[in-house]
Chain A
């Protein structure tokens, strides 16, 4: 094995065995309260919601859309409309065993192969709770209370609580933040008036979503 390959293998191994920093323990009562408050980051299903979306893309490109999303027994559906009402994308991420992503409509440039999966991940991370109970509930070294779901494939989701409720959602892969979602304003039925989703990195982007309507 060449030294370079050995180093790469070692790095991969370290990433595979690495963990997010441990959370400081809190009392059982605080854990129970935090578990309930963390769930308030996500609306209760079934739901439907409409948001305006301002996307800030690499190289400073900015675009505006209207997003309609719904979650229920059949899965998560997301529709993107132009301001003029033209349907640009319509996809359904099926729930459970049937799984799979059904794209009912995608017009250029929303027909790129990687777009649909990224969009459904954006919507899913922002509005769908991780499955099951948190694997850890505790505090960062900086004092914020956090619920953490550790998932297979070295992925994790955290909900960070602020003084008045859920403040941020973060997703990780191999210890790297893949999405940060800021929850702003006072929620109504589990929907926050403003949600800002940031995907870091060279191809990263920011989605500023404002709630228009929900039921």
Chain B
């Protein structure tokens, strides 16, 4: 779940509409943009390609983020799962039949480590991360401007080789995220219809009753 929190923090950074178009040119710009954000709500489509599948595996969900560190990352299909972070406490649930149950596969201890860093990311202070080495990469012929997050821990690098957070056309937005694995496979997450700065009720960051 490391990357989810990184994404949330950086999406928040991307939500600062008042920042100049080149706000991501340097880390100071990122920090300033991050400081302006309050909330973000968006849906997303996740596409996982595998060589053995003719069609990619498509998952859909929604995300909500509220400063300083409330997060809801919910997959609605094909497998309903829910990660809720409220005031630093993380819970991951899984829909089993009609009931939400605690997802035992969640590595909450690892998440706690990351939660300790989320404030760094929300402050745009990526260089202080103990999990990822961030690199700001300007647009090139082959790829749009993005931040590359490279795992520092070799054991994590065996799972995720790097994460690319791609900036959108609108200044201060993120259009997509690509998660690269060692060997085969890329997971592409495209955000749709993001809304910034609205009030998000507390119950969006609570587990279902």
A and B associate: yes
Which residues of A approach B to under 8 Å, CB–CB? Answer: 48, 50, 52, 54, 56-57, 61-66, 68, 70, 77, 79, 81-87, 90, 104-105, 107, 208, 210, 212-213, 215
Say yes or no: is B102 at the interface (Cβ < 8 Å to chain A).
yes
Write out the residue numbers on chain A whose beta carbons fall within 8 Å of the beta carbon of B59: 83, 85
Asked if B46 is at the interface of the complex by the 8 Å CB criterion, the answer is: yes
CB distance from A64 to the nearest CB of B (A): 4
Given A64-B105, A70-B52, A86-B159, A50-B57 contact (CB < 8 Å): yes
A-B contact count (CB 8 A): 83
Segment from B17-25, B74-82, B118-126, B192-200 that makes contact with A: B74-82
Closest 3 CB pairs of A and B: A63-B105, A85-B187, A61-B104
Interface centre among B54, B79, B158 (most CB of A within 10 A): B79
Given A48-B52, A87-B184, decide whether A57 and B79 contact each other with a Cβ distance below 8 A.
no
Distance (whole angstroms) from the CB of B188 to the closest CB of chain A: 9
Q: Is the CB of A208 within 8 A of B96?
A: yes
Say yes or no: is B103 at the interface (Cβ < 8 Å to chain A): yes
Q: Shortest Cβ distance from A187 into chain B, in angstroms?
A: 19
- Shortest Cβ gap from A63 to chain B (Å): 3
User: Taking A62-B102, A66-B79, A107-B158 as contacts, is the C-beta distance between A54 and B96 under 8 angstroms?
Assistant: yes
- What is the size category of the interface that chain B forms with chain A? 20 to 34
Residues on B close to A: CB < 8 A?
A: 1, 3-4, 46, 48, 50, 52-55, 57, 59, 75, 78-79, 81, 94, 96, 101-105, 158-160, 179, 181-185, 187
CB pair A62–B94 under 8 Å, yes or no, is: yes
CA distance in complex: A215, B183 (Å): 25
- Considering the chains assembled together, what is the distance between the CA atoms of A126 and B79 in angstroms? 20
Residue of B nearest to A64 (CB): B94
Q: Whose C-beta in chain B lies nearest to the C-beta of A83? A: B81
A61 to B102, CA, bound (A): 8
Contacts A62-B94, A70-B52, A87-B181 aside, 9 further interface pairs with beta carbons under 8 A come to: A52-B79, A68-B50, A68-B57, A83-B59, A85-B59, A86-B179, A90-B184, A104-B183, A107-B159
Residues of A within 8 A of B54 (CB): 48, 215
Point out the residue from B75, B104, B159 that lies within 8 Å of A57, measured CB to CB. B104
17 contacts between A and B (CB under 8 A): A61-B104, A63-B105, A64-B105, A66-B78, A66-B79, A68-B52, A79-B50, A79-B52, A83-B59, A84-B3, A84-B187, A85-B46, A85-B59, A86-B159, A86-B160, A86-B179, A105-B182
Q: Give the CA-CA distance A77 to B53 in the complex, in Å.
A: 12
- Which of A61, A83, A87 meets B79, CB within 8 Å? A83
Asked if A85 and B48 make an inter-chain contact with CB atoms under 8 angstroms apart, the answer reads yes
| Contact partners of A87 in chain B: CB under 8 A | 181, 184-185
Residues in A whose Cβ lies below 8 Å from that of B46: 84-85
Residue ID in chain B nearest A52 by CB atoms: B79
Query: A62 CA to B97 CA in the complex, in Å?
Result: 12
Q: A64-B103, A64-B105, A68-B53 are in contact. Are A81 and B48 (CB under 8 A)?
A: yes
- Within 8 Å CB of B4, what residues of A? 84
Bound together, the chains give a CA A64 to CA B96 distance in angstroms of: 9
CA distance A87 to B57 in the complex (A): 12
Inter-chain contacts of B184 with A (CB < 8 A): 87, 90
Q: Is the CB–CB distance between B79 and A213 below 8 Å?
A: no
Which residues from chain B contact A66 at a C-beta distance below 8 Å? 57, 78-79
- Asked whether, in the complex, the Cβ of B159 is within 8 Å of the Cβ of A212, the reply is no
Which chain B residue lies CB-closest to A77? B52
Which of A50, A64, A90 is the most central at the interface, judged by chain B CB atoms within 10 Å of its CB? A64
Contact A62 B57 (CB under 8 A): no
Contact yes or no, A62 B103, CB < 8 A: yes
Bound-state Cα–Cα, A82 to B94, Å: 12
Q: Which residues of A contact B96 (CB under 8 A)?
A: 54, 56, 62, 208
Partner pick for A85 among B1, B52, B57, CB 8 A cutoff:
B57
Min CB distance, A168 to chain B, in Å? Answer: 20
